[in-house]
């Protein structure tokens, strides 16, 4: 494998990793914003969320 091929491969792996982790971070942030929005608009209650996901406090 030549140097330029190795450089291309490294860049492809790096870009793929950046895209993957950005996507995962975005989905997590999006979920939390959606839940906050549902709570603010009274679409769902905090008690119902706790019951649904078995959260005890």
DSSP-derived secondary structure for 24-55: HHHHHHHHHHHHHHHHHTTSS-HHHHHHHTT-
Domains contained in the chain, number: 1
Average pLDDT over residues 10-23: 98
Average pLDDT of the chain?
93
Q: Is 2 helix (H, G, I), strand (E, B) or coil?
A: coil
Average pLDDT over residues 30-50: 93
DSSP state of 23: H
* pLDDT bracket for residue 49 (50, 70, 90): confident
* pLDDT bracket for residue 12 (50, 70, 90): very high
- Separation CA 53–CA 36 (nearest Å): 16
Domain limits for position 42: 3-53
- Separation CA 10–CA 45 (nearest Å): 47
């Amino acid at each position: 494998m030549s140097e330029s091929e190795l450089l291309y491969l490294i860049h492809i792996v790096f870009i793929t990793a950046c895209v993957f982790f950005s996507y995962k971070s975005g989905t997590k942030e999006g979920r939390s914003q959606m839940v906050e929005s549902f709570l603010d608009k009274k679409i769902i209650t905090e008690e119902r969320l706790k019951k649904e996901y078995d959260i005890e406090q």
